[in-house]
Amino acid sequence: MSSGAGREAVFPTRQSLGAMKSKLKGAQIGHDLLKRKSEALTKRFREITKRIDDAKRKMGRVMQIAAFSLAEVTYAVGNSSIGYQITESVKQAKFRVKTRQENVSGVFLPQFESWRVEGVSSDFGMTGLGKGGQQVQKCRETYTRAVETLVELASLQTAFVILDEVIKVVNRRVNAIEHVIIPRTENTIKYINSELDELDREEFFRLKKVKGVKERAKAEEDAERSKKARRESDKENEQNGEGKNVLGDEGDEDVIF
Amino acid sequence: MEGMFYNVTGGYVEGIVRGYRNTLLTGQNYGNLTQCETIDDIKLQLGPAYGDYLASLPPNPSTSSLADKTLDKLVAEFRYVQANATGSLSKFLDYLTYAYMIDNVALLITGTLHERDTRELLERCHPLGWFETLPVLCVATNIEELYNSVLIETPLAPYFKGSLSHQDLDELNIEIIRNTLYKNYLEDFHRFVNEEPGIRGTPTQEVMSEALEFEADRRSINITLNSFGTELSKQERRKLYPNFGRLHPEGTLMLSRAEDAEGVRIAVDGVSDYRDMMDQTGMSGGNSGGGLGNQSGGVGGDTEGKSLEDMFYEREMQIAKMSFTFQFTHAIVYAWVKLREQEIRNITWIAECIAQNQKDRIGNYISVF
């Protein structure tokens, strides 16, 4: 049935009625909780969506500036091998990302945090010593900002995807409980009740029937008995009339002392 | 008097180069370029000047491929000039290519130091700095081998000799090596234009001395400014200053002691040109942040926010432009190459601005003519 109004395959017994009732209660509590969870998640989700929007706009601006500062470097240095020199002279990363987890209503969201290693000096600090060094440093600054924005965006985006998934699951559960489990349990309870009532009525009817039969049998018996009694008295009367032993002791056995 | 016989050897080349100079983009051309909406428009605008070289570019090329193609033209023309040069001019042109060779060798040394396949790097080398034994540098797998058997064979060997040992190659920062080489190169070039019999006493000596002295001062100032906040010690820094130029020796001595932009300004105080530059970039006020930006106004507009680097480029272009007022000199080849390089940078800049939709900064090119 489309509304999930089927019922569970249980024997309509009082025990299963009890079980069903507790199940219904559990389902309702679960539904309330899940609904609240879903609302909390949705609130968070909206917030994140807004922040993603901001972050993306910011990223657009920052990346533009960064790309432009790279153009400035190319302009100032005048050759294109600068990128190679920089990538070759860097030995360890200064800019690093670490993750931690944040718990939002039982959902673990990874949060990325960027930090700079203090000990790592600028390995390519001398790049462009002859010319363009200042542009290289400036470019490095802008790209650091760009990467920071990217990291921020990455954690938001991951949270967005995870939350989206979780909200879908939770909503599916809420809907399942609301539209399938609760109606079905209610139906089952209704069914069990009606079956039990039916059984009660049948029992009552059966008892009535049994009583009727018994009464009828009794009545018949009574009638038989009264008829028999009448006949016997009649017979007696007859015998008496034939000169029967007055003492009426023909049948008596001899008593042996 | 000295020009009387110049045309016998150098006349043809000078004529050619003056012709090349006339094909350089003018302010009008740049004006048209800045009006472009797409890279394709730029390509179209560059049609008359670059024609064939841009023809093979796909529609909407990247700015770097555009720059590569414009460079190709410079290289082709330079090769032609080089092929027609004789005597001292030929030597002079060789000197011009050494600057690029230093970049290429530094690039390959970087590759060797990090044990990369240097063959891939050959494509990244500047074509003007190409020399026959350059691919041989790739054969060396460690730095000692590179130094002992390969670098010795390159035209740059004299610049290595005496100032850099093979241990230095291993230990020193590649930038220091590069700048040491460049210093030796500039000094050698300066010596060449002042002492070479075919050049001494000609306008070439006059013009080139000015250009090289400016170049030397520019390097000194830039190295000083860029070394702030790095691990380069003052002692090492001092070794990188070329031993000539208008700042030499008092200025460079003071530069070597400078600790901030203010110190640099005091050091260059003796030379009014540089002092004006420093004043204009606002570095004298201790506001070094203002010096980092690229130029903000158009050329000849307000100078607020121009970086020292831009001022130096402008000055270099002026020197190059003035070189063409002389006749019977090799210096115009130098000037032409510099102008052409600036033009390529300008085109790249304008293309970059258009590609990135940053039209407000598009006027930052340096138009010479």
Written as six digits, the tokens of B226 are 């860029």
B284-292 average pLDDT score: 39
**Tens digits of pLDDT across chain A (257 residues):** 444 467 778 888 888 889 989 999 999 999 999 899 889 889 988 999 999 999 999 988 888 888 888 888 888 776 666 777 777 777 777 788 888 888 877 788 888 888 877 766 555 666 667 777 777 888 888 888 888 888 889 888 988 998 899 889 989 989 998 888 898 888 889 888 988 898 899 889 989 989 899 899 989 999 989 999 988 888 877 766 655 566 666 666 777 76
**Residue B301 confidence (pLDDT):** 33
Q: How far apart are CA B307 and CA A68, in angstroms?
A: 16
Confirm whether A220 is domain-assigned: no
**Residue B80 confidence (pLDDT):** 92
**Residue A122 confidence (pLDDT):** 57
Confirm whether A87 is domain-assigned: yes
| Test mutation, A79, A91, A120, A136, chain B, max B CBs within 10 A | A79
Contact between B82 and B68 under an 8 Å Cβ cutoff? The reply is no
Could you identify the residue written with the tokens 């008496």?
A240
Q: How far apart are CA B211 and CA B218, in angstroms?
A: 10
Q: Which CA distances in Å does B50 have to A90, B20, B30?
A: 38, 12, 14
Contact between B186 and B211 under an 8 Å Cβ cutoff? The reply is no
- The contacts of residue B239 (CB under 8 Å, 6+ apart) are B180, B183
Q: How far apart are CA B59 and CA B42, in angstroms?
A: 11
In degrees, rounded to 5, the angle at the alpha carbon of residue A60 between the alpha carbons of residues A55 and A62 is 90
Beta bridge partners of B95: none
Percentage of residues of chain B with pLDDT beyond 90: 6
Confirm whether A223 is domain-assigned: no
**Residue B296 confidence (pLDDT):** 36
Phi, psi of A101 (to 5 degrees): -110, 145
Question: Which segment of A140-154, B5-19, B83-97, B152-166 scores lowest on mean pLDDT?
Answer: B152-166
- The contacts of residue B141 (CB under 8 Å, 6+ apart) are B112, B115
pLDDT, chain B, mean: 81
Q: How far apart are CA B269 and CA B361, in angstroms?
A: 31
Q: How far apart are CA A28 and CA B291, in angstroms?
A: 69
- The contacts of residue A38 (CB under 8 Å, 6+ apart) are A167, A170, A171, A174
**Residue B1 confidence (pLDDT):** 56
> How big is chain B, counted in residues?
369
Confirm whether A207 is domain-assigned: no
Distance from CA of A93 to the nearest CA of B (A): 16
Distance, CA of A172 to chain centre: 8
Cα maximum dimension of chain B: 56
Q: Is B352 on the interface with A (CB under 8 A)?
A: yes
Confirm whether A234 is domain-assigned: no
Q: Is A128 on the interface with B (CB under 8 A)?
A: yes
- The contacts of residue A29 (CB under 8 Å, 6+ apart) are none
**Residue B303 confidence (pLDDT):** 39
Q: How far apart are CA B170 and CA B112, in angstroms?
A: 10
Question: Which segment of A215-219, B351-355, B359-363 scores lowest on mean pLDDT?
Answer: B359-363
B323-347 average pLDDT score: 89
Q: Considering only alpha carbons, which residue of chain B is nearest residue A66? A: B356
Q: Is B219 on the interface with A (CB under 8 A)?
A: yes
Express each pLDDT in B93-137 by its tens digit: 988 898 888 888 888 887 777 777 777 778 888 888 888 777 777
The pLDDT of residue B36 is above 90: no
Helices B63-84/B87-113 angle, 10° precision: 140
Is B230 within 8 Å of A81 when comparing Cβ atoms?
no
Range of A106's domain? 14-118+125-170
DSSP 8-state symbol, B151: G
Q: How far apart are CA B46 and CA A52, in angstroms?
A: 42
Phi, psi of A115 (to 5 degrees): -150, 160
Is A78 within 8 Å of B176 when comparing Cβ atoms?
no
Confirm whether A137 is domain-assigned: yes
> How big is chain A, counted in residues?
257
Percentage of residues of chain B with pLDDT beyond 70: 92
**Residue B288 confidence (pLDDT):** 37
Instruction: Identify which of A111, A109, A108, A104 has the alpha carbon closest to the alpha carbon of residue A40.
Output: A104
Written as six digits, the tokens of A70 are 């790279």
Closest partner CB to A132 (pick from B240, B309, B341) = B309
The model carries a pTM of: 0.75
Contact between B321 and B332 under an 8 Å Cβ cutoff? The reply is no
The 3 state secondary structure assigned to chain A is CCCCCCCCCCCCCHHHHHHHHHHHHHHHHHHHHHHHHHHHHHHHHHHHHHHHHHHHHHHHHHHHHHHHHHHHHHHHHCCCCHHHHHHHHCCCCCEEEEEEEEEECCEEEEEEEEEECCCCCCCCCCCCCCCCHHHHHHHHHHHHHHHHHHHHHHHHHHHHHHHHHHHHHHHHHHHHHHHHHHHHHHHHHHHHHHHHHHHHHHHHHHHHHHHHHHHHHHHHHHHHHHHHHHHHHHHHHHHHHHCCCCCCCCCCCCCCC
Decide which of B155 and A254 is more confident: B155
B315-334 average pLDDT score: 88
CATH number, position A82: 1.10.287.3240
**Residue A106 confidence (pLDDT):** 78
- Neighbouring CB atoms inside 10 A of B300's CB total 9
Total domains in the fold of chain A: 1
Burial A36-66 (b: 16+ CB within 10 A, else e): ebbebbeebbeebeebbeebeebbeebbebb
Q: Is B359 on the interface with A (CB under 8 A)?
A: no
Q: How far apart are CA B27 and CA B348, in angstroms?
A: 16
Q: Considering only alpha carbons, which residue of chain B is nearest residue A78? A: B345
Cβ under 8 Å to B: A residues 45-64:
64
A chain contacts of residue B62, beta-carbon cutoff 8 Å: none
Would you call B24 exposed, middle or buried from its count of C-beta atoms within 10 A (0-12, 13-18, 19+)?
A: middle
Confirm whether A233 is domain-assigned: no
Confirm whether A40 is domain-assigned: yes
Q: Considering only alpha carbons, which residue of chain A is nearest residue B290? A: A134
**Residue B60 confidence (pLDDT):** 81
pLDDT, chain A, mean: 83
B61 cis-preceded (ω within 30 degrees of 0): no
Express each pLDDT in A111-141 by its tens digit: 888 887 776 655 566 666 777 777 788 888 8
Q: Hey, what amino acid is at A105?
A: S
Express each pLDDT in B170-228 by its tens digit: 767 777 888 888 888 999 999 988 888 877 778 888 888 889 999 988 888 888 888 88
CA quadruple B341, A139, A81, B52: dihedral sign: negative
Q: Considering only alpha carbons, which residue of chain B is nearest residue A60? A: B356
Instruction: Identify which of B206, B209, B154, B167 has the alpha carbon closest to the alpha carbon of residue B186.
Output: B209
Phi, psi of A117 (to 5 degrees): -75, 125
Cβ under 8 Å to A: B residues 269-288:
none
Instruction: Identify which of A18, A2, A1 has the alpha carbon closest to the alpha carbon of residue A192.
Output: A18
